[in-house]
Structure 1
Amino acid sequence: MHIKALHIKNFRAIEDINVDFDNRVNIIVGPNAVGKTTVLEAIRLVKALLFPRTQNESMQALFALGAASPHLPQQITIPALARNPSTPVVISIRFELSKDEITWLENSVPIIARGIIQGRMGQAFSNPTTLINFLGTPQGQQAIEAAQKEVNSAINDSKNDGRQCRVELTISPMTGPQSTDNPVWPTLLAMLDQRHPPGLTSFSYFPADRALPQGEQPVQLGMADAQAQLESHSSQPQTKYTRLKNTIFSAMIMSESGREELTAEFERIFQGILKGRRLKGFGLNHIGLLSILVEDTETGRTFEIDGMSSGEKGLILTFLLIERSVAQDGLILLDEPELHLNPAVCKDLLSFLVDGYAVRKNLQVFVCSHSPEILAGAFDNDECSLYHLESELMLTKVRRQDHTVIAEALRRLGTSESEGLLFNGTIFVEGIDDVSLLEAGFSSILRRYKIKDLGGRREIEKEIKQLQDAENRGTELSSRYFIFDRDELPTDLKNTKSTKILQWERRCLENYLLDIDILTDLFMNSEVVKNPLNNLGEVQKKLRELAFGQLDDFVAKQIYSRYQYIDPGIRATEIQGKSLNNIAELLHERLLKIMNQYSTIDESNWTSDFLKKCSEERQNLTSVWEAKWLNECDGKRLFNEICQKVQPKMGPKKFKIRVMNEMRLKPSENWRAINSLLSDLLAKNSETK
């Protein structure tokens, strides 16, 4: 029973998505709170309402979603399910059955027909005697024949359609939940699951909410345990994690083969993913408590399974249950398997799941994950498909492409293509403190974006151009935004569909922090700075003096750069892959150019000429800076220098963050200016989608 297509409309965070699935393991990724778990919950809700395994499953699923209450179980709260409460929720699933499942259905038509009749007749036929008496009547025989005909017709239609079938759940504010497709298939799918013993299921949900037990746990056997197992598959999936010891001891006690299978399964897990561990034994310890002993193979230390981390215990239980409780050809929903696990374990998790279970047992697995290690593994495994939930309207498959060149360019940018799938986009900034400043001031609009520090710009622009060239050739890339300081280097990069460029209108981000009113309040506060200033005028004077003190540096750099003297240094990109003869020729040619250039220098007049040009440039810049020094000065340098004078009772970085927070709370004009620029930058991407 594998899912081939899914359509979700107006369900919780999802507005309308339609997607086909073509692989055993399907990884769903996307930013936080976009609706990844909602996709799993939609599948679970269809299962619970249309073909439940237990009597409680339908209500338990609604309870878990907050759509019903134990006090009023028949009253469904539509706003808990619907994105728009005034329109119906529609969830349809197209399944593909295995050959064994089709064969079982064909051989079980009489049993299925009786189940259909009993279900349609309602509570009056819940008593076996009443059902038997009815089926013995002519009307009962006619009902059996009609039901068998329906079942055979549905099975034949499925065989002619590649063993596929479709079910659809519609939840309307007026009529409540209804099956709005072929009415026979929910019963057939329910029968496929109900044929298994209590400890086995065709459908199992592993939620992200996990409460693992500590210490002694009561172990049940017989009917009570069978019922608990049934409920844990899908009706109350969170109870799986409280059954760790019960699962182990039930297998140990029931049969000798169970002990052997359990030991083999522990060895599979320890050798495959939790390396460095070994099952030492299980039984009762010297004080009569149930004990499961694990050995650290490196140190020889033996400890109780309770001594393992939550992530390790969760992983053990997950794979034990997949092996012991999920039937051949089954379906698994697995939400955030990486919880409480370090990246080294996550790196092997997907391949272990695929090779050890999905392929061997022909399972279909849906995984929601935030782990870059799991995402990277999905790109490299032919049994896996990666799906990106971009928004409430778009769940799309990530195409496999030749990303060799792109991956190298992204690596040099300090990111990866898989990281781009976890967020709405990645924002690269130039200043070393810019990440903290933007997160402090604009978390409301940047919360679904990853912000990273570029650490420079000259070489980075080459990598960006390489990405844009690949995009122009048709390669699909996730969104990336580059925010540059203005400095003296206006960028010539242009926006593309996936790569957006913003250059601050002021020299750097710190220039926007030069908010005189905010700084005056802070610089006059003795609780904030050690050397407080007296008034607004003194603050303005100090800042202006420090800013104009930068003019000589600016002028000297600008005038000297106009001489365009050749740098004699070796450029790595020029000599890479060349022979020594070619390198020598290149360097010799450069030295000759330098000699020719230096021969034109008038040694007696160079200094006076340089000073004259600097004086003229300084005079021109001074008139500009009189009106625009807050925008044109080096804001980073100015903040460092003013902090040395007033000495904030915190580091310069924390002081900048304090200024940004004050600007946000006010909010000041400078904060509004940054907010407008960021909003425009991010809006450009949404317009291209």
Structure 2
Amino acid sequence: MKIKSLYVNKYKALKEFRINFNEDVSVIIGENGTGKTSILELIYNTFIENETFFKDEDGFSKSIIKMRLTDDEIKELNDLKQDNKRNKIFSLEVNKGLDNEFKFIGLPNFKTLNNKRIHSSLVYSKAEVNYKKQKIEAPIKPNDLKEFATIISEDENNKLNLKQYIINEHYKDLEDLSIGNKPFRIDRFRKLYNSFFKEKKFIGVKDFEPVFRVEATGEVHSADQLSAGEKQIFFRGGALLQLNLQNSIILIDEPELSLHPEWQQNILDFYRNIGNNNQIIIATHSPHIVSSCKKEEIRVLIKEEGIVKVEENIEETYGWTVEQLLLSVFQLDSVRNPEVQNRLDRFKELYINNSNLNEKEKTEMNSLKRELEKYLDPEDPSLSLVNLDKNSNKLEALINQLKSNKNNNVLEM
């Protein structure tokens, strides 16, 4: 079962808002305040029929989630209308009545039907900030997280549960080994982490602690001693792997937090490799993540006259440089420090009108020239005007180009 689309009449910044999703990966980007996190919140809370969530949100009126079903799922949903069966789509609609009651229209109980589960799992991984150290004194049975819907958050119980789970898997592996069976449980965690980390490896459990080995020195340390970025991978990725997700929906908010740009480039593949046939919906600010997506996987939220909508026509993004993405998809005016960009623009403006400058303006232009040469790389294309011979043909061509592009502040080389 996969989410096909979400419609919300009114919720926070989202008004009369519609968004479609891919069956495998959808990456939502947009400036702050456009509702990226709100979309994930709405999906999760609508699925679990969280009336408290909707009652606490002033102005919420209605949301509709449309799902795409497999043939087997359609057979289980025998109370759906024939036309919905044929299109493999049904709607789960939440209406708030005048008497403040909520009615879920379309499916009486989304989680089960005739005592059969129709969907394996829905997981919402919230944005994380920090992980505290937690010491486990002895292996104990972890809590059962295998409910229909799960939130992975900064809650201490979630993090402690993952450690307990890994430790128990380790001891089950030892039991198998003692009777001649091949251990396999910890190996899936080892493969996942070691496919991502280059300089250290997850080696298993020691003294009731998941431990890593630094490849260069052989030093062994616990998961609590991982860096902030490594902890994001360990706890968020491990919590998802713990759930044995198959044919599930995974919502992830800001997976790039605390991650080096190189890791951000690889994080999408990391989550793709958790389970099989999962639908992943991500909200992010990272151009490094976007550069690893095809354009059909990107959903750009824009706000026009206070209304948020999804930009329909975006250029291809796969393999683009960060600079290209920031200027085109993220719609930044410049990738430079704003103060440097303003000084560069001023220098260009003065240079274009060099022959008409007064003494004060000439002094300003020369001062800007010295300052830009001090800060910018000598190979920076924007320094071409500074370094070219005054009598060269290329200088004349560049000045003509600047004049034609001065409204766009663009200098092509």
Do they superpose with TM above 0.5?
A: yes
CA distance in structure 2 between the aligned counterparts of 1:253 and 1:366, rounded to whole angstroms? 34
Contact 2:125/2:153 (8 A) holds in 1: no
Partner of 1:98: 70
Partner of 1:190: 111
Partner of 1:385: 297
CA distance in structure 2 between the aligned counterparts of 1:485 and 1:640, rounded to whole angstroms? 10
Partner of 1:166: 91
Contact 1:201/1:326 (8 A) holds in 2: no
C-alpha change, 1:177 and 1:14, in structure 2 (3 Å) is farther
Q: Please give the TM-score of this superposition, normalised by the length of structure 1.
A: 0.46
1:486 paired to 2:349: yes
The residue type equivalent to 1:190 in the other structure is K
How far off its partner does 1:633 sit?
Answer: 5.5
Partner of 1:275: 198
Partner of 1:11: 11
Greater shift in the superposed pair: 325-334 or 234-243: 234-243
Contact 2:128/2:257 (8 A) holds in 1: no
CA distance in structure 1 between the aligned counterparts of 2:204 and 2:153, rounded to whole angstroms? 30
Contact 1:17/1:394 (8 A) holds in 2: yes
Partner of 1:376: 291
Partner of 1:39: 39
SS at match of 1:40: helix
Q: Please give the TM-score of this superposition, normalised by the length of structure 2.
A: 0.73
CA distance in structure 1 between the aligned counterparts of 2:81 and 2:246, rounded to whole angstroms? 20
1:202 paired to 2:126: no
CA distance in structure 1 between the aligned counterparts of 2:154 and 2:67, rounded to whole angstroms? 22
CA distance in structure 1 between the aligned counterparts of 2:41 and 2:159, rounded to whole angstroms? 18
Contact 1:333/1:365 (8 A) holds in 2: yes
The superposition leaves residues 369-412 of structure 1 with CA deviations (integer Å, 9 ceiling, x where unpaired) of 112211100138xxx601101124212355454999xx6xxx7x
Partner of 1:425: 332
Alignment of 1:116-135 (within 5 A): none
Partner of 1:658: none
SS at match of 1:394: strand
Q: 1:335 aligns with which of 253, 259, 265?
A: 253
Contact 2:3/2:65 (8 A) holds in 1: yes
CA distance in structure 1 between the aligned counterparts of 2:368 and 2:200, rounded to whole angstroms? 54
Partner of 1:175: 99
The residue type equivalent to 2:209 in the other structure is S
The superposition leaves residues 503-559 of structure 1 with CA deviations (integer Å, 9 ceiling, x where unpaired) of xxxxxxxxxxxxxxxxxxxxxxxxxxxxxxxxxxxxxxxxxxxxxxxxxxxxxx749
SS at match of 1:168: strand
Alignment of 1:217-236 (within 5 A): 217=136, 225-226=143-144, 230=147, 233-234=150-151
CA distance in structure 2 between the aligned counterparts of 1:327 and 1:292, rounded to whole angstroms? 22
SS at match of 1:425: coil
CA distance in structure 1 between the aligned counterparts of 2:206 and 2:44, rounded to whole angstroms? 36
Structure of higher RCO (CA pairs closer than 8 Å, 6+ residues apart): 2
Q: 1:246 aligns with which of 160, 164, 174?
A: 164
Partner of 2:388: none
SS at match of 2:266: helix
Partner of 2:375: none
Contact 2:2/2:67 (8 A) holds in 1: yes
How far off its partner does 1:262 sit?
Answer: 3.5
Q: 1:416 aligns with which of 298, 302, 324?
A: 324
SS at match of 1:426: coil
How far off its partner does 1:345 sit?
Answer: 1.4
SS at match of 1:43: helix
CA distance in structure 2 between the aligned counterparts of 1:264 and 1:250, rounded to whole angstroms? 13
SS at match of 1:322: helix
CA distance in structure 1 between the aligned counterparts of 2:220 and 2:17, rounded to whole angstroms? 50
C-alpha change, 1:177 and 1:331, in structure 2 (3 Å) is farther
How far off its partner does 1:254 sit?
Answer: 5.4
CA distance in structure 1 between the aligned counterparts of 2:87 and 2:148, rounded to whole angstroms? 33
Contact 1:211/1:242 (8 A) holds in 2: no
In terms of fraction of residues, the more strand-rich structure is 2
RMSD of aligned Cα (Å): 4.1
- Is there any run of 5+ residues in structure 1 with no aligned partner, and where? 51-57, 68-75, 107-151, 285-289, 437-451, 458-482, 491-556, 560-620, 642-680, 683-689
CA distance in structure 1 between the aligned counterparts of 2:81 and 2:169, rounded to whole angstroms? 37
- Bigger radius of gyration among the two: 1
1:435 paired to 2:338: yes
Contact 2:6/2:20 (8 A) holds in 1: yes
CA distance in structure 1 between the aligned counterparts of 2:315 and 2:183, rounded to whole angstroms? 42
How far off its partner does 1:266 sit?
Answer: 2.5
The residue type equivalent to 2:282 in the other structure is V
Contact 1:169/1:177 (8 A) holds in 2: no
Aligned length: 365
Partner of 1:453: 341
How far off its partner does 1:165 sit?
Answer: 1.2
How far off its partner does 1:155 sit?
Answer: 7.0
C-alpha change, 1:402 and 1:325, in structure 2 (3 Å) is closer
C-alpha change, 1:100 and 1:390, in structure 2 (3 Å) is same
How far off its partner does 1:100 sit?
Answer: 4.1
Identity of aligned residues (%): 18
Alignment of 1:457-476 (within 5 A): none
The residue type equivalent to 2:297 in the other structure is S
CA distance in structure 1 between the aligned counterparts of 2:223 and 2:10, rounded to whole angstroms? 44
- Is there any run of 5+ residues in structure 2 with no aligned partner, and where? 371-406, 409-413
CA distance in structure 2 between the aligned counterparts of 1:270 and 1:33, rounded to whole angstroms? 33
CA distance in structure 2 between the aligned counterparts of 1:401 and 1:275, rounded to whole angstroms? 30
C-alpha change, 1:636 and 1:484, in structure 2 (3 Å) is closer
How far off its partner does 1:177 sit?
Answer: 5.1
How far off its partner does 1:193 sit?
Answer: 12
Q: 1:214 aligns with which of 124, 133, 143?
A: 133
Partner of 2:186: 263
In terms of fraction of residues, the more helix-rich structure is 1
Contact 1:37/1:335 (8 A) holds in 2: yes
CA distance in structure 1 between the aligned counterparts of 2:114 and 2:92, rounded to whole angstroms? 15
CA distance in structure 2 between the aligned counterparts of 1:12 and 1:421, rounded to whole angstroms? 24
The residue type equivalent to 1:387 in the other structure is R
C-alpha change, 1:638 and 1:237, in structure 2 (3 Å) is closer
C-alpha change, 1:281 and 1:488, in structure 2 (3 Å) is closer
Partner of 2:311: 396
CA distance in structure 2 between the aligned counterparts of 1:19 and 1:375, rounded to whole angstroms? 18
CA distance in structure 1 between the aligned counterparts of 2:6 and 2:65, rounded to whole angstroms? 5
CA distance in structure 1 between the aligned counterparts of 2:229 and 2:34, rounded to whole angstroms? 25
SS at match of 2:323: coil
C-alpha change, 1:253 and 1:192, in structure 2 (3 Å) is farther
CA distance in structure 1 between the aligned counterparts of 2:231 and 2:365, rounded to whole angstroms? 49
CA distance in structure 2 between the aligned counterparts of 1:159 and 1:205, rounded to whole angstroms? 28
1:635 paired to 2:348: no
